[in-house]
């Protein structure tokens, strides 16, 4: 067995921690995002255009919960080289990018509600979170396909 084959063979007994950790990092970045946005949006509760008490905010909180759960399950899935979870991670990444245009852009467009620095920080969190998900998904796709091919060749060898 050459070094490349050994590297693939090792995957039979080791977890895909790289993809898994990237998914967990995506969760951390998302937490940073939503903790930050609530902080910045809720500065003045007396304002008539306050974001805090809207249905959108409720939906945002719910989505954060769903995101964390889905990303965590994906992290566990890709740890075991499950291909399907890569696609879940792609979808989550796409939604993270879409979220930029919901709260951050809306809040930033209202005068005095969110500074440029705060706006950029939120975008960085969401983009970084999406990038982590995409990277984790791509790594998992590559590894799981290589492992599947290797396992198939081993099975063929046995037969």
Residues that bind another protein (CB under 8 A): 3, 6-7, 9-10, 12-14
Closest CB to another protein among residues 82, 106? 82
User: Measured from the CB atom, is 10 or 145 closer to another protein?
Assistant: 10
Compute the C-alpha angle 5/86/35, nearest 5°.
130
In whole angstroms, the minimum distance from the beta carbon of 86 to another protein comes to 21
* Nearest distance from C-beta of residue 123 to another protein, angstroms: 38
d(CA 133, CA 86): 8
For another protein, the closer of residues 61 and 154 by Cβ is 154
State the minimum distance, in angstroms, from the CB of residue 130 to another protein: 31
- Compute CA 142 distance to the chain's CA centroid, rounded to the nearest angstrom: 18
Q: How far is the CB of 11 from another protein (least distance, A)?
A: 10
Residue (2 or 116) nearer to another protein, CB: 2
- Structure token pair of residue 91: 């979808």
From CA 69, how far away is CA 49, in angstroms rounded?
Answer: 31
Q: Which is nearer to another protein, 14 or 110 (CB)?
A: 14
Plot region of 81 (φ>0 → left; ψ -120 to 50 → alpha; else → beta)? left
- Enter the DSSP assignment of 44: -
Cβ-contact 13, 151 below 8 angstroms: no
Euclidean distance between CA atoms 90 and 131, whole angstroms? 10
Write down the residue that tokens 């999406």 correspond to: 130
Instruction: For the CB of residue 127, give the shortest distance to another protein in the complex, in Å.
Output: 33
């Amino acid at each position: 067995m050459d070094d490349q084959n050994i590297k693939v063979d090792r995957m039979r007994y080791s977890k895909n921690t790289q993809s898994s950790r990237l998914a967990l990092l995506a969760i951390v970045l998302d937490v940073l995002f939503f903790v930050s946005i609530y902080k910045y949006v809720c500065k003045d509760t007396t304002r008539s255009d306050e974001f805090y008490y809207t249905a959108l905010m409720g939906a945002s909180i719910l989505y954060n919960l769903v995101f964390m759960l889905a990303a965590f399950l994906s992290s566990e899935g890709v740890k075991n080289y499950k291909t399907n979870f890569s696609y879940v991670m792609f979808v989550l990444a796409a939604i993270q990018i879409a979220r930029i245009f919901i709260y951050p852009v809306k809040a930033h467009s209202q005068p005095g509600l969110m500074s440029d620095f705060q706006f950029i920080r939120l975008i960085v969190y969401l983009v970084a979170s999406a990038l982590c998900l995409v990277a984790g998904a791509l790594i998992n796709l590559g590894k799981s396909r290589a492992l599947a091919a290797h396992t198939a060749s081993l099975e063929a060898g046995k037969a």
